[in-house]
Amino acid sequence: MKSWFITGISRGLGLALARAVLADGDTVVGTVRGTAAPLTADAGRLRLLHADMADEAAAVSTVHEAFQAHGPIDVVVNNAGYGLLGTVETSTDEELRHLFEVDVFAPIRVVRTALPYLRTQGSGHIVNITSIAGRAPGPGIALYAAAKHALEGFSASLAQELAPLGIRVTAVAPGQFRTDFLDQRSVRMSRPADSAYDTSVGTSLVALDKINHHQLGDPARAARAIIEAVRSDKPPLHLLLGSDALRRAREKSAAQASEMEAWEALSKGTDCDDL
Ligand SMILES: NC(=O)c1ccc[n+]([C@@H]2O[C@H](COP(=O)([O-])OP(=O)(O)OC[C@H]3O[C@@H](n4cnc5c(N)ncnc54)[C@H](OP(=O)(O)O)[C@@H]3O)[C@@H](O)[C@H]2O)c1
């Protein structure tokens, strides 16, 4: 039996994961910031903690409480997050700061606070929910893409830092999943831009609006995939979820490889001659 700490289990992917974990007989210590999550479990197998992840002190004390009152914890999942849509030109520092507080700083703070406990336990698995936007973004989501790229890069280096300590790291990059992610109650929107952006950002925003609640991905299946990856003897460092994520990541890798090749001579030409 495993014990999971999951941020943002009120709805969406976090709720689906908490449900699947509880259905397996495991234990969930989950965070919510408003109303309680619509979950039931045998007494003792579900604990709810309250924290707005934009609040540094609340995020940190929640992790302490999770380990001190409900530990040991085997799996730490940074799931809580939201998207910011619109043009970079019309975005504000306030929007940028809040986005990074929730989508980047909070997950890093959660990891930093959890690490002494995980090291004492001698084991653990950190799962950071990133996004395909953190690997192969389209237009209209530059700041969200920046946040999720940060979490992908953080995870990749962290995994190497923690491997000798027996602590695993997986960055999970979902494609488009049928949650509230694109709902007005979740996603935030920068001020509208002028018509110069109609064919790039404008087109992308119309497409995103159309797929709200019609996304390809099933959150319950995403939850099962995350559990399978965590249970694996050799868990992946990067896990894509959804055929759309797989396609976009493959296209991005191929474009990157071909660009690297096209510019190889210029790249190599900057080396010093004395080595
Ligand atoms: N669905 C997708 O297509 C998709 C794709 C790629 C990545 N993701 C990522 O998956 C994760 C979960 O998103 P979702 O699709 O499940 O969206 P969702 O249905 O909107 O759920 C978001 C969850 O995050 C919580 N949350 C948001 N801001 C928070 C804050 N400041 N403090 C505490 N909790 C906060 C929400 O809590 P409240 O109920 O209190 O708002 C909710 O539990 C996010 O990190 C998102 O970036 C989603």
pLDDT number for residue 275 = 83
Residue 122 lies in domain: 3-243
Whole-angstrom distance, CA of residue 55 vs CA of residue 143: 20
The CATH number of the domain where 195 resides is what?
A: 3.40.50.720
Q: Is residue 274 one of the residues assigned to a domain?
A: no
C-beta 107 within 6 A of ligand 1: no
Q: Is residue 114 one of the residues assigned to a domain?
A: yes
Report the domain count for the chain.
1
64 in Cβ contact with 39 (< 8 Å): no
Ligand 1 pocket mutation pick from 11, 100, 128, 183 by most atoms within 8 angstroms of CB: 11
C-beta 164 within 6 A of ligand 1: no
Contacts of 268 (CB under 8 A, 6+ apart): none
DSSP 193: P
Q: Is residue 261 one of the residues assigned to a domain?
A: no
pLDDT number for residue 268 = 97
pLDDT number for residue 151 = 98
Q: How far is the CA of 273 from the centre of ligand 1 (A)?
A: 50
pLDDT number for residue 15 = 97
Residues shown for the chain: 275
125 in Cβ contact with 234 (< 8 Å): no
179 in Cβ contact with 10 (< 8 Å): no
pTM over cut 0.85 = yes
Whole-angstrom distance, CA of residue 227 vs CA of residue 39: 18
Q: How far is the CA of 218 from the centre of ligand 1 (A)?
A: 15
Whole-angstrom distance, CA of residue 234 vs CA of residue 15: 26
Q: Is residue 270 one of the residues assigned to a domain?
A: no
Q: CB-side exposure of 244: number of CA atoms within 13 Å?
A: 13
pLDDT number for residue 20 = 97
9 in Cβ contact with 28 (< 8 Å): yes
Whole-angstrom distance, CA of residue 216 vs CA of residue 237: 24
C-beta 177 within 6 A of ligand 1: yes
Q: Is residue 260 one of the residues assigned to a domain?
A: no
Q: Is residue 93 one of the residues assigned to a domain?
A: yes
C-beta 140 within 6 A of ligand 1: no
C-beta 137 within 6 A of ligand 1: no
DSSP 139: T
Ligand 1 pocket mutation pick from 5, 32, 82, 243 by most atoms within 8 angstroms of CB: 82
Ligand 1 pocket mutation pick from 181, 218, 241, 246 by most atoms within 8 angstroms of CB: 181
pLDDT number for residue 117 = 98
pLDDT number for residue 228 = 98
In this structure, what is the dihedral angle of CA atoms 152, 158, 163, 165, given to the nearest 10 degrees?
A: -140
pLDDT number for residue 269 = 97
Q: Is residue 77 one of the residues assigned to a domain?
A: yes
C-beta 52 within 6 A of ligand 1: yes
Q: What is the pLDDT along the chain (275 residues), one digit of tens a residue?
A: 899 999 999 999 999 999 999 999 999 999 999 877 789 877 789 999 999 999 999 999 999 999 999 999 999 999 999 999 999 999 999 999 999 999 999 999 999 999 999 999 999 999 999 999 999 999 999 999 999 999 999 999 999 999 999 999 999 999 999 999 999 999 999 998 899 999 999 999 999 999 999 999 999 999 999 999 999 999 999 999 999 999 999 999 999 999 999 999 999 999 999 98
DSSP 170: E
Whole-angstrom distance, CA of residue 18 vs CA of residue 224: 10
Residues with active-site annotation = 144
Residue nearest to atom 26 of ligand 1 (CA): 80
